[in-house]
Chain A
Amino acid sequence: MSSLIREPSDVSRRRFLQVMGASMALASASGCHWETEEILPFQRRPEGRVPGTTRRFATSIECSGVAASLLVTSYDGRPIKIEGNPLHPLDRGAASARSQAAILDLYDPDHSRGLVQAFEGASYPRSWKEFDPWFAGHMAQVRARKGAGLRILSEPSSSLALASLRTRLAELHPQARWVEWEPCARTNKIAGSKLAFGRALRVQPRIEQVNTLVCLDADLFGLHPAALANARAFAARRRPEEAQPLRLWVVESSLSLTGAAADQRLALRDEQILPFLLALEARLAGGKAADGLFLESLADELLAQRGAALIAVGPRQPAAVHALAHRINANLGNTGKTLLYSEESDPAGVMELGELAREMEAGAVETLVVLGGNPVYDAPCELEFRRALRHVPLALHLSHYRDETSRACTWHLPRAHALESWGDCASWDGTRCLQQPLIDPIFPRRTPLELLGAICEAKLGAPELVRACVAPGASDEQWKKILHDGFVEGSAARPVEAALASFSVPAPAPRALAKELRNGELELVFAPDRNLYDGRSANNSWLQETPDAITKMTWGNAAIFAAETAAALGVEDSTLVKLKLGTRELEVAATVLPGQATGSITLHLGHGRSAAGLVGGLEQENIETVGFDAYRLRSSDALDRAGSLEVMPTGKSWQLARTTDPAVTDSIGRKQMEGLVEELARVRTLADFRKEPGSERESEHESLWNKPVAEGVRWGMAIDLNSCIGCNACALACQAENNVPVVGREQVIRGREMSWIRIDRYFTGPERSPRVRFQPLTCQHCESAPCEEVCPVAATMHSAEGLNDMVYNRCIGTRYCANNCPFKVRRFNYFNYHKAIEAEGAEVQRMLYNPEVTIRHRGVMEKCTFCVQRIQAAKIHAKNEGRAPADGEIVTACQQTCPTQAIVFGDLADPKSRVARLHAESRGYAMLAELNIGPRTTYLEKLVNPHPALEEHDG
């Protein structure tokens, strides 16, 4: 089993044996008798607490100095699900896949549970009791030396409380220096704005105002800190009824979510974006007609759309590109209309990581306090941070996991999870968000505020400090209101006037394609992973198993090649290749992906962790790492891309755990697919739609029997492909809501992943600029469901309200229903995928389960239920109050979190309900309707808005 299932704490033999032992014990304990449960009431039940019901708290999580405002559901005082904060001006109830997955870390057995001191190679568990007095004494000495040799390495943070402590630190320890490091920082953006305006400014896009949106390697809907808001605004501007629908132009080297949504996309090498922009500016300035129809038509449109266009640039682009974009936006009169500027925190006076490393090597650092982050893993490779740490007599690392850095430091201090912490942070628009704990720390963990507070002998405890910094002089009532909302109302940053400075950008020489494809001339682009980001989420099995939106890859990464590039270099999909940058080499898997710029190879960061944990890899326990560590090739001078890459095929093959079978790419498979996709995931151009709005629907066939007329409620769903950007938020929401298990790499390769909602991704059209189609697929709850009639024991049948009920406890597992399901949305428990969590010693992990959803046993079928537990709860609640549930009162997990509101659930029988209206829309169509199974889910066609001049050129 252990070799078959790969999931937390089932991987290592030792734990596997524990599991076995425990299950034996369990069996013997109750024998052939019912297991009697115990009921443990409170001594004094807190006011307003009703056992077995959920309550919600607003809080927030910070990532790279930007807050995500969240609403966390707590059951009996246990946080079980993370959703977006509906009140927050930016997030508006949506939450990204990664913020939702954070709940898993809270109960992760690897999430650090105690202090560890390394001493002469051995490591010893310690307690705060031991640590505190000793540390106080030590800091007293440091203070006596005015903090000489004290360095604090922190992740960039927007916390006011932290900032106040930092100033206090400066007073107490004038000699101490503050260092900030973050592998995927906004350095280029800031440098760009300094070049353009002479000051650090932050761009606040206002997409609702934009008619022409140009993204230069800018993933506005994917990795952008305000992606949720951007995506929502974008979706709103794409509605067919929009008078002037937005057109999205994307120029990038590798397909991003934004690129996938683009109307016009140009695959360009990363380094060629600067020349492209220069040419564009020249053309806009009325210069000579530039080369390329694309640029030509783009320029024309930009001119036509003065004041209604926006050129956005991604963080990977050099300062010059940002500056140019600022200038063009200003000249086109977009500034102030389609984008605003707000103050950006200026890291001036903050020490560079490189400098710190040099100091450490020189032995100038005596005490290094690392607040979060994982520099040993993600610092530029040439710094040799691990080696540098050896010269530091006392290095403390406060972190969630005992990761690479912790193991290289003298002390590892467990860091409290965001849901255990008091704190504050600011979202992209500057809104001040609060962080309040959902539960007392499950293990003795501390927050950076607490540790730093100890260092600079702060008087106030964390909550008081936060209150003092965030809302000084607020009354208790006001403070409660702030905590209730989760943020300070109207605290968004004020837009600032930015005066353009004059600057010039030298044009680099563009290269010829043939040359690009030569070894040593290739470019390697480092991009943060869409799921694991910079690697901090590497031990999160949900994110590891959520297929990447574009590559559909789980459990690992691979170097992405364009077909031409691969052909030219003799590289094949699912093989190992050797990447060589100067003296550094790295063997990685290779994959071929449409839409990749030729000569440009993209490698996602965040994989190949050697000390992430039992999920992400842990060398000490011989748990193999997952994926390949791109940081080994990433040096300070080439943090974003390296231009002189050599690629050598090794001929070794490597299995990639992809959820869509690459066998689709065999010739007949592909031919069939291209034929079908037009039918299944429909896309039309806006022009066509305006000409002739109705999408051809399958005419209902004559039925052999008279179908029963359903009276009363008829649950149904509508999914708008025009809004879906494939961000995976729904997938994570479902995973958390429905206790969907993680099965591990081997099982995914076997095609046994369990996700209840999957997002099908199809490429059509030319290899270089493919049209990407996303199609979220849940159980369609067909009116005459094929799965039902074939079940011999009636374990799946139809409810009066039209739900296709799946009764786990009746299922004997013949799997016939799944065979007969044309959508293949049914999932079978080939093993007991919950085994490890049912085992003794996993009491904390179990706290994650949603108590309202049954955990499926080995050997039973499962599938999307339209979140029936939510339906029932809402119905009972409404009926107790003597009314029927209102439209929108029942919200499925996927619908709740969808940033673009692409998913709508409700009662089809009520003609006024949103879902009913969407079903009636002319874009609506049912998948495989010709089978006469009557799916309850209607899809709405995607409408693209290509530039007329480029349309046929697109082919």
Chain B
Amino acid sequence: MSEAQGALHSLVAEFDDVDGVSAAARAVRDAGYKAFDVYSPFPIHGIERSMGLRATRLPWLVLACGLTGTVLALFFQWWTNGHDYAFKISGKPLFGVPANIPITFEFTVLLAAFGAFFGMFVLNRLPEHHNPLFENERFRRATDDGFFLAIEARDAQFHERATRELLQSLTKHTVVACHESGESRALPVWVRASMAGAGALALVPLAAIVAARYRDSTQAPFHLIKDMDSQTRYRAQAANPFFADGRAQRPDVAGTVEFDRFRTDPALLTGRAGEAFVDQIPLSVTAELMQRGRTRFAVYCTPCHGGAGYGDGLVAQRAATLQEQAFVPPASLHDPLVRARPAGQIFDTIRNGVRSMPAYGRQMSIEDSWAIVAFVRALQRSQNASVEDVPDAERGRLGTR
């Protein structure tokens, strides 16, 4: 008891055996004391009766925890396997109680055990590493072979002298007064400071992550477990350092012929019959073909030739604004010369290009090219239509314009 003493905490009487302390307990109880306690190295059979203690509420707590476990486990198993991601397993129902019993049981026990364990300590207000009783050196025997009874000063009946007499009458050892230690109950500054510091430090990673989330990165994403993520087989357009050009995809071998895509219709493939161009579209011109032609025209032709085919596409315009010398403005599809061309020639132009127009043969299929031809024909027609072209039924509506 080196440092300054605090308020009186309790009066402590020591005993040598179970009988003594039990008797004392009864006496103190009968004297009407409430805030007193018995300390012994092992649980004394029947002491709670001698002290007049009520039974603990612990069992109810444990029951509550256990039930929570049951419900949680059952619900969670249903929700995960039966609802959230319902996979078909061995042709069994998505949720069947039998399969879920074991885990439900285990979880029930787990939570109940937590209830018992933590419940006990909490109800006992443990851990309590500092306690006035420890100030008393003899009190060490409480965990060995000593028995103690302490009446605390906070008891309503407590009166230092009277109480001391009562106790002294029960034991042959001298009753000892036990004082609160002088030091303050509050946390020292350095403890508070360091906890605050730790808290602040903990925010750093958060900040970093937030930054990462809202900023683009030129660096490949962070990635730890890589099994099978990037495999050594070559997928489309991959790289293979072995070859000089670094490509995994290899060019066709000259002169070879592919299987089951074999066609020999010169008109369809080249748009020519012998030397001359065909003027007939070798496919049956249907609404689908027209539709197809329209969309393909929009994809491949509009950029230069413009939506209506007057050669005023956005690309052409941009080239003009940039004053690109090399750029030759695209022809209008409605130029008489162009209109005069046979279908085959338009087809040929699309596939192989002409003058400054690039070849699109490798960008679209034969059918698509013909579809575009069909659409271009329609387009030309639409821009140079005479009244005769309009069906009689529709002519009436022309007048309104």
Q: Which residues of A contact B (CB under 8 A)?
A: 30, 32-42, 44-49, 51-52, 55-58, 71, 76-78, 436-440, 463, 477, 480-481, 483-484, 486, 705-708, 739, 783-786, 788-789, 794, 797-800, 808-809, 834, 837-838, 842-844, 846-847, 849-851, 854-857, 859-860, 934
Q: Mark B239-263, 1 if CB is under 8 A from A, else 0.
A: 1111001111111110111111110
Contacts of B242 in A (CB 8 A): 843-844
Contacts of A463 in B (CB 8 A): 255
With contacts A33-B220, A48-B261, A843-B242 taken as known, whether A436 is within 8 angstroms of B256 at the C-beta atoms is yes
A55: nearest chain-B partner, CB-CB: B258
Contact check, B224 vs A784: say whether CB atoms are below 8 A apart. no
With contacts A71-B259, A854-B231 taken as known, whether A437 is within 8 angstroms of B253 at the C-beta atoms is yes
Contacts of B224 in A (CB 8 A): 32
Q: Mark B90-114, 1 if CB is under 8 A from A, else 0.
A: 1111001000000000000000000
Contact check, A49 vs B252: say whether CB atoms are below 8 A apart. yes
With contacts A33-B222, A40-B247, A843-B241 taken as known, whether A857 is within 8 angstroms of B228 at the C-beta atoms is yes
Q: Which of B90, B227, B246, B258 contacts A57 (CB 8 A)?
A: B258
Contacts of A708 in B (CB 8 A): 88, 91, 93
Q: Which residues of B contact A (CB under 8 A)?
A: 87-93, 96, 219-224, 226-242, 245-253, 255-262, 264, 361-362
Contacts of A484 in B (CB 8 A): 257-259, 262
B242: nearest chain-A partner, CB-CB: A843
Contacts of B257 in A (CB 8 A): 57, 436, 480, 483-484
Contact check, B255 vs A46: say whether CB atoms are below 8 A apart. no
Q: Which of A37, A39, A705, A851 contacts B233 (CB 8 A)?
A: A851
Alpha-carbon gap, A809 to B230, bound state (A): 12
Contact check, B256 vs A483: say whether CB atoms are below 8 A apart. yes
A797: nearest chain-B partner, CB-CB: B87
Q: Which of A71, A77, A788, A855 contacts B90 (CB 8 A)?
A: A788
Looking at the assembled complex, report how far the CB atom of A845 sits from the nearest CB atom of chain B, in whole angstroms. Answer: 9
Q: Which of B87, B91, B229, B233 contacts A784 (CB 8 A)?
A: B91
B261: nearest chain-A partner, CB-CB: A48
Contacts of A481 in B (CB 8 A): 262, 264
**7 A-B pairs in the complex with CB atoms less than 8 angstroms apart:** A32-B222, A38-B239, A47-B362, A837-B232, A843-B240, A855-B232, A934-B91
Alpha-carbon gap, A278 to B261, bound state (A): 55
> Could you tell me the dominant secondary structure of chain A's interface residues?
loop
Contact check, A39 vs B240: say whether CB atoms are below 8 A apart. no
Q: Which of B219, B233, B239 contacts A40 (CB 8 A)?
A: B239
B87: nearest chain-A partner, CB-CB: A797
Contact check, A41 vs B227: say whether CB atoms are below 8 A apart. no
Contact check, B234 vs A52: say whether CB atoms are below 8 A apart. no
Alpha-carbon gap, A436 to B230, bound state (A): 34
Residue in B90, B232, B262, B264 with the greatest tally of chain A CB atoms within 10 Å: B90
Alpha-carbon gap, A57 to B242, bound state (A): 24
Contact check, B237 vs A39: say whether CB atoms are below 8 A apart. yes
Alpha-carbon gap, A512 to B340, bound state (A): 97
The 10 closest A-B pairs by CB, nearest first: A52-B236, A77-B250, A849-B233, A784-B91, A76-B249, A843-B242, A483-B257, A789-B90, A51-B236, A798-B88
Contacts of B253 in A (CB 8 A): 436-440
Looking at the assembled complex, report how far the CB atom of B77 sits from the nearest CB atom of chain A, in whole angstroms. Answer: 13
Supply 12 further A-B pairs (C-beta < 8 A) apart from A41-B237, A846-B240: A33-B223, A37-B239, A40-B249, A44-B362, A76-B250, A437-B256, A788-B89, A794-B89, A798-B89, A842-B232, A849-B234, A856-B228
Looking at the assembled complex, report how far the CB atom of B222 sits from the nearest CB atom of chain A, in whole angstroms. Answer: 6
Contacts of B231 in A (CB 8 A): 849, 854-855
With contacts A57-B256, A438-B253, A439-B253 taken as known, whether A76 is within 8 angstroms of B233 at the C-beta atoms is no
Looking at the assembled complex, report how far the CB atom of A480 sits from the nearest CB atom of chain B, in whole angstroms. Answer: 5
Contacts of B235 in A (CB 8 A): 52, 851
Alpha-carbon gap, A851 to B249, bound state (A): 12
A808: nearest chain-B partner, CB-CB: B228
With contacts A32-B222, A57-B258, A76-B249 taken as known, whether A37 is within 8 angstroms of B91 at the C-beta atoms is no
Contact check, A78 vs B248: say whether CB atoms are below 8 A apart. yes
Contacts of A800 in B (CB 8 A): 88
Contacts of B221 in A (CB 8 A): 33-34
Contacts of A838 in B (CB 8 A): 232
Looking at the assembled complex, report how far the CB atom of B359 sits from the nearest CB atom of chain A, in whole angstroms. Answer: 10
Contact check, A51 vs B240: say whether CB atoms are below 8 A apart. no
Alpha-carbon gap, A51 to B250, bound state (A): 10
Q: Which of B228, B236, B261 contacts A854 (CB 8 A)?
A: B228
Contacts of A52 in B (CB 8 A): 235-237
Looking at the assembled complex, report how far the CB atom of B127 sits from the nearest CB atom of chain A, in whole angstroms. Answer: 38
Contact check, A846 vs B256: say whether CB atoms are below 8 A apart. no
Contacts of B96 in A (CB 8 A): 705
Contacts of B226 in A (CB 8 A): 30, 35
Contacts of B362 in A (CB 8 A): 44-47
Contact check, A40 vs B259: say whether CB atoms are below 8 A apart. no
Q: Which of B90, B239, B247, B262 contacts A42 (CB 8 A)?
A: B247
Looking at the assembled complex, report how far the CB atom of A856 sits from the nearest CB atom of chain B, in whole angstroms. Answer: 7
